[in-house]
Amino acid sequence: MRADRLLSLLLCLQSRGRMTARQLADELEVSVRTVYRDLEALAAAGVPVVASGGPGGGCRLMDGWRSPLLGISAEEATALLAVSAGGPLERLGLGDALSQARLKLVASLPAAGRADTQAAAARFHIDTQAWFRPPELVPHLAELVDAVRGDGRLRLTHRRPDGRTTKKTVDPLGLVAKAGVWYLVARSRDGIRAHRAARITGVERLTGTFARPGDFDLAEFWSRWTTEFEASLDQLPVAVRLTTYALAALPAILGDTRSAANATPDPEDGWHRLTLHFDSPLAARRRLLGFGPELEVLEPADVRADLAETARRIADRYGH
């Protein structure tokens, strides 16, 4: 739309100063002739555009003139620029909107401190992707985004962790990206639930729209849901003794940065005693094997026996 292009042209001149018509055309992805027409439109609207030809010439705004954008402090601008990395927004199709927002933000700053603010923001980078794992493929993300934005009811086909599929009619309330994984927060007859978006194998847009619950807050729901989800896991306590080396390896092997603080040192042998929590005996065995001989399970007896049997089978495998 021309109005959007005129605003982008104005913000380019305000945030970057003098630019040639060719530079503006490349930035806005239009022809040079279109740029000149848009400059004339800005001038007709009262924007003091100054154009000069020859070497070193170009287009700029009259010195001292600024558009009436909302003022913002340098600290506020630095914070916003630092956290507005593309990442998840690119996958939502909001990358262009983010670029425009950054441009407007920079343009709203006083010219004297603009470069310093941009330089300060460039010293911070937020990477939302988890280590050693590519972003999950979400084949129907665009359809989910469209339904969330338009309050469109959906018929979902969802693949359960055990491989079975279920169908459910839902009201999509929001999308959440957590460490590279997308979740659809939706309301159904079972209440409001979070569904892993990568497991949604089919999306059917139903006719009509739904009324969003007036008291629903996505961030508040997500905080409560994640707390409840974490509490529902790790219900099996396992008492262990482990070496100082194993204690230091807890974050790397288990991803647990809190349990080490609760370890009790044993002055007799220099080891540490600690209670860890797992979802099941199988999960305990798989994860505790990573410590090798640096950890010993004390109880429960079935987990200790399972780990010992697995160790014997491993030794037999390599004994030949």
Instruction: Say what the pLDDT of residue 1 is.
Output: 46
DSSP string, 30-84: S-HHHHHHHHHHHHHTT--EEEE-STT-EEEEPTT----PPP--HHHHHHHHHH-
CB-based contact 145:92 (threshold 8 Å) = yes
Considering the chain, what is the average pLDDT of its residues? 83
Neighbours of 292 (CB within 10 A): 11
Please, where are the H alpha helices in 151-243?
218-232
- Based on the fold, state whether residues 55 and 83 are members of the same structural domain: no
Question: Quick check: 32 pLDDT over 60?
Answer: yes
Residue 68 falls within a domain, yes or no?
no
- The pair phi, psi for residue 76, each rounded to 5°, is -65, -40
Instruction: Say what the pLDDT of residue 61 is.
Output: 83
Instruction: Say what the pLDDT of residue 292 is.
Output: 92
Summarize the confidence of residues 290-310 as an average pLDDT.
Answer: 94
In terms of Cα–Cα distance, which of 202, 192, 191 is closest to 159? 202
pLDDT tens, 192-206?
999 999 999 999 999
Residue 132 falls within a domain, yes or no?
no
Task: Quickly state the pLDDT bin for 98 (edges 50, 70, 90).
Answer: low
Summarize the confidence of residues 3-10 as an average pLDDT.
Answer: 73
How many structural domains are present in the chain? 4
Residue predicted with more confidence, 64 or 235:
235
- Based on the fold, state whether residues 145 and 222 are members of the same structural domain: yes
Residue 231 falls within a domain, yes or no?
no
Residue 129 falls within a domain, yes or no?
no
Task: Quickly state the pLDDT bin for 80 (edges 50, 70, 90).
Answer: low
For the chain, what percentages of helix, strand and coil (3-state, to nearest 5) are there?
A: 45, 25, 30
Residue predicted with more confidence, 86 or 21:
21
Summarize the confidence of residues 296-304 as an average pLDDT.
Answer: 94
Summarize the confidence of residues 264-277 as an average pLDDT.
Answer: 88
Residue 183 falls within a domain, yes or no?
yes
Instruction: Say what the pLDDT of residue 129 is.
Output: 75
Query: Which range marks the domain in which residue 163 is found?
Result: 141-210+217-226
Instruction: Say what the pLDDT of residue 70 is.
Output: 46
Task: Quickly state the pLDDT bin for 313 (edges 50, 70, 90).
Answer: very high
* Cis ω before 267 (30° cut-off from 0): no
Question: Quick check: 68 pLDDT over 60?
Answer: no
CB-based contact 139:91 (threshold 8 Å) = no
